[in-house]
Amino acid sequence: MEAEIGFSHSQIGFFILFLGMGYSIMLLFSGMLSQILGYRNHIAIFMFLAGLVLVAITELRNFYGLVAGFLFLGLSLGAYLPAAIPLITSSFSKWGRAIGLHDSGAPIAMILMPVMASILLKKFHWSVMLVGIGVTLMVVTLLFITTTSNIREQSSGIKHYFEVVSDRFVWYVAILWIIMAFSAAGLFSVLPLYLVSEKGFKLTNALYLLGIARLGGLSTPVIGIVSDRVGHETFLNLSVAVTGLLTLLIPLATPPYIGAILFLQAFFSSFFFPMAFVVVSKIIQKEDQSPALGFILFMGTLVGMGVLPKLLLDVAEVSGFSSGIIVMGLAVIVATIISVKISRTPPRVHASGNPTGLISR
């Protein structure tokens, strides 16, 4: 795309920037919109729009038009997750299994998409691939509408939204999410540079090693099934504590062992997210889940996957990557205290006296 249209690296960077900007902005507002439209309708409208935008992008050649296209694509994609989790918890009784299977999509995509892109780009033009993805997304969205019931919570307005996102419990989860988002995703974005500059890897070997390590993230469906029996809170706390220890070991490991450390770190950090979704859904009132999750995900994306990786690179300029990674590992270990506090929080209660976030079926 860059070579064909004639854009610079910096201009392509603007597309990625506005994609991320749109995604983050929509995370904040998705909670309120999904209450008005209903979870299914909210997801369907924005996923179908994302498919249309992908198709439209292939026809754009103007820089500002493409910036707008990627912004709208980010807005459309950001609408999904805050509405998807309440829809899942309202539709299934085995939350760990359902959310674990759902969340396995991200690590599978991270592994398969680069491979598929490298293969398909040898046979198809990039615009054909984007059209194919867009059309597929629209078809899947139509199938989603026909197989899913629309669930709508009562909209409480902007005042109540700010009450939800200022709640102390929501901030505890947001802080924990920021730390774990960096450990699970943000850290991996800078690890290639670390492996090359401080561990002596060739770039191709470093990327290969990280690709293999990412396979550890495929554990979420199995962990989800087991957690329904053993306890979601147990696996939440286990994920945070062990991820911290393994992050701490990354700078201390020698090349023969660092691959195993990275694989285990990806394994334990990956199931934090489905377990956190389940635990938060069990505690927060059903009508507050979408706004709360949208805010939590926004903070995790902005700080955990944006600010902290940049901060780690700044620390690396002064004292090397190792010191920054060690500090991060210690922060994750300390965050176990927050995790335990969250897991021991009792469910919020309606005026009727019935616990919310729990379904009876």
Which parts of the chain register pLDDT below 70?
Answer: 1-3, 9, 114, 155-156, 348-361
Q: DSSP string spanning 93-123?
A: S-HHHHHHHHHTHHHHHHHHHHHHHHHHTTT
Per-residue pLDDT tens for 331-344?
999 999 999 999 99
> Residue 1: what pLDDT?
67
Per-residue pLDDT tens for 192-201?
888 888 888 8
**pTM of the shown model:** 0.84
d(CA 5, CA 3): 6
DSSP 355: B
For the beta carbon of residue 131, count every other beta carbon within 10 angstroms.
Answer: 19
233 CB contacts (<8 Å, ≥6 apart)?
275, 279, 343, 344
78 CB contacts (<8 Å, ≥6 apart)?
22, 23, 24, 25, 26, 27, 30
> Residue 350: what pLDDT?
43
DSSP 347: P
Per-residue pLDDT tens for 20-51?
889 989 998 888 888 888 999 999 999 999 99
**Which architecture characterizes domain 157-342 according to CATH?**
Up-down Bundle (1.20)
For residue 331 the two structure tokens come to 């922060």
Are the CB atoms for 37 and 45 separated by under 8 Å? yes
Taking the domains of the chain in order of start, what are their residue ranges? 2-94+123-147, 157-342
DSSP bridge partners of 113: none
> Residue 353: what pLDDT?
38
d(CA 328, CA 348): 32
Are the CB atoms for 220 and 259 separated by under 8 Å? no
